[in-house]
Amino acid sequence: MNTIPMKPQIATHVLRCVHCGKVQETADRMFRCTQCSELLEVTYPEWASAPPEFALRLKEIWRERRGSSLPENSSGVWRFRELLPHVDRQHIVTMCEGNTPLVPLKRAAGSLHLPNLLVKHQGMNPTGSFKDTGISAAITMAKAEGFSWVCCASTGNTSASVAAYAARAEMKSIVLLPAGQVAAGKLAQALEYGANVLQLRTDFDGCLRVLHEVVRKFSAYLLNSLNPYRLEGQKTVAFELMEQLDWQVPEHVIVPGGNLGNSSALGKGFMELRDLGLIQSLPKISIIQAAGANPLVRTMRENGGAELIRVTPETRATAIRIGNPASWRKAVSVLKNGGGACEEVSEKEIAQAKAELGAEGIGCEPASAATLAGLKKLLAAGFVKSADTVVLVLTGHMLKDVDYMKQLPGQNLLGPMEADGDAVIRTLEQIYARH
């Protein structure tokens, strides 16, 4: 094959309002449209005139970089920098994020009669969740802009990631958490990495509201997913996934929904690949929420995505315990553009799905398991067909939330018993007899 000589340049970007469409070059600390106060997204006007060779050349460059040990090439975010905002190399804050495995499921594939069922395990990122791809991108922008403090509100994973990346960048971090509602593993990470952790007597939505007040008065860079640069990092999962699938677009990608940044980012990533000609079609991106924290499900069902219906959230999948999601408009666009579904699953269905994944050696946190629970419903409804390729995005590592496991009836956990060989052998004989 001839090598295409063209070297794609990194395009300049602007910020466009997702509601009124107004374009602005910079944003204030709240990352809101100056005209209507809605969220902004990063766009790259120069791509509209990109020649068809651009797509081919990109695939080639990204493949070549996989063999490189330079930090900006081994990062699963910055390796795709032609499709990211331009930053000088010295500002890049990376811990080799991304690069997560795509693993076929066997047992679930068999029981669901869905031979092409895979999980993209974003829990294998440096701090154990998909947040790292977004935080790498956004904290890089913070560094380039000269900030020394960063901040976020979080159900836990964002705080762990912000704390770690801030420490790497020699910045200070502030995290606001809903008191008593964050899994211990996530809280431990934020503390270990030296964040200033404030536990507030409210839920995630309350923490985000307070953070807005903090950012207005205090010079700290906001790292929640309403920051459009977060989503630029998170969209790279679409690029990496397509490389792993040799650019064959799956019929379905299924993701859990909380504040709805991740589904928005995934949709944006696929749309950009399609618009640039790297892929010819879009997967259907479906969003799954816990039934007790289902604002998007209700919004789609009750008014077709026109106005957000807020809910008071309650679920043991604490990562997605969110009732007033910031990126709901973006998520509605993803559903409408790609034709995905929005489904809710019960606590029991989440626990069952998590146990099934665990039984084939794939650990994840409860929010991530909602994807498998949702898939079962989409299969039953005939929305997913057995010949389809389906990718479940597992968003967090199993060890993040071990308390969840402790509350389930542990059928395989025996003892304490005497440290006596005969007693142990008698017990094992009973176990053997049961199998």
CB of 259 to ligand F0G, least distance (A): 3
Selected from 158, 173, 294, 333, the binder of ligand F0G by CB under 6 A is: 158
CB of 182 to ligand F0G, least distance (A): 9
With respect to ligand F0G, which residue has the nearer C-beta, 140 or 259? 259
With respect to ligand F0G, which residue has the nearer C-beta, 74 or 263? 263
Distance CA 385, CA 284 (A): 12
With respect to ligand F0G, which residue has the nearer C-beta, 243 or 365? 365
> How far is residue 168 CA from its own chain's centroid?
21
Type of residue found at 259: N
Distance CA 168, CA 185 (A): 20
Contact call for residue 259 and ligand F0G (CB under 6 A):
yes
Exposed / middle / buried, residue 316 (Cβ in 10 Å: 0-12, 13-18, 19+)? middle
> Using CB under 6 A, which of the segments 41-49, 235-243, 252-260, 411-419 binds ligand F0G?
252-260
Residues in the chain: 435
CB of 338 to ligand F0G, least distance (A): 16
Record the tokens describing residue 220, joined without a space: 């700290």
Point out which residues pair with 178 in neighbouring strands. 200
Point out which residues pair with 129 in neighbouring strands. 396
- Any residues with CB less than 8 A from the CB of 208 and at least 6 apart, and which? 153, 176, 224, 259, 324, 326
Residues 291-320 that bind ligand F0G (CB under 6 A): 319-320
Contact call for residue 256 and ligand F0G (CB under 6 A):
yes
Selected from 94, 100, 127, 129, the binder of ligand F0G by CB under 6 A is: 129
With respect to ligand F0G, which residue has the nearer C-beta, 136 or 158? 158
CB of 122 to ligand F0G, least distance (A): 8
With respect to ligand F0G, which residue has the nearer C-beta, 76 or 325? 325
Selected from 126, 250, 258, 374, the binder of ligand F0G by CB under 6 A is: 258
> Using CB under 6 A, which of the segments 6-14, 75-83, 235-243, 259-267 binds ligand F0G?
259-267
Contact call for residue 393 and ligand F0G (CB under 6 A):
no
Distance CA 386, CA 197 (A): 46
> Using CB under 6 A, which of the segments 41-49, 99-107, 363-371, 425-433 binds ligand F0G?
363-371
With respect to ligand F0G, which residue has the nearer C-beta, 228 or 257? 257
Contact call for residue 365 and ligand F0G (CB under 6 A):
yes
Selected from 155, 286, 299, 333, the binder of ligand F0G by CB under 6 A is: 155
CB of 405 to ligand F0G, least distance (A): 15
Residues 187-226 that bind ligand F0G (CB under 6 A): 225
With respect to ligand F0G, which residue has the nearer C-beta, 108 or 320? 320
Contact call for residue 335 and ligand F0G (CB under 6 A):
no
Contact call for residue 396 and ligand F0G (CB under 6 A):
yes
Contact call for residue 363 and ligand F0G (CB under 6 A):
no
With respect to ligand F0G, which residue has the nearer C-beta, 112 or 211? 211
Residue 250: cis peptide before it, omega within 30 degrees of 0: no
With respect to ligand F0G, which residue has the nearer C-beta, 92 or 160? 160
Type of residue found at 70: L
CB of 364 to ligand F0G, least distance (A): 8
Which positions lie near ligand F0G, rule CB under 6 A?
Answer: 129, 131, 154-158, 225, 256-263, 319-320, 365, 367-368, 395-396
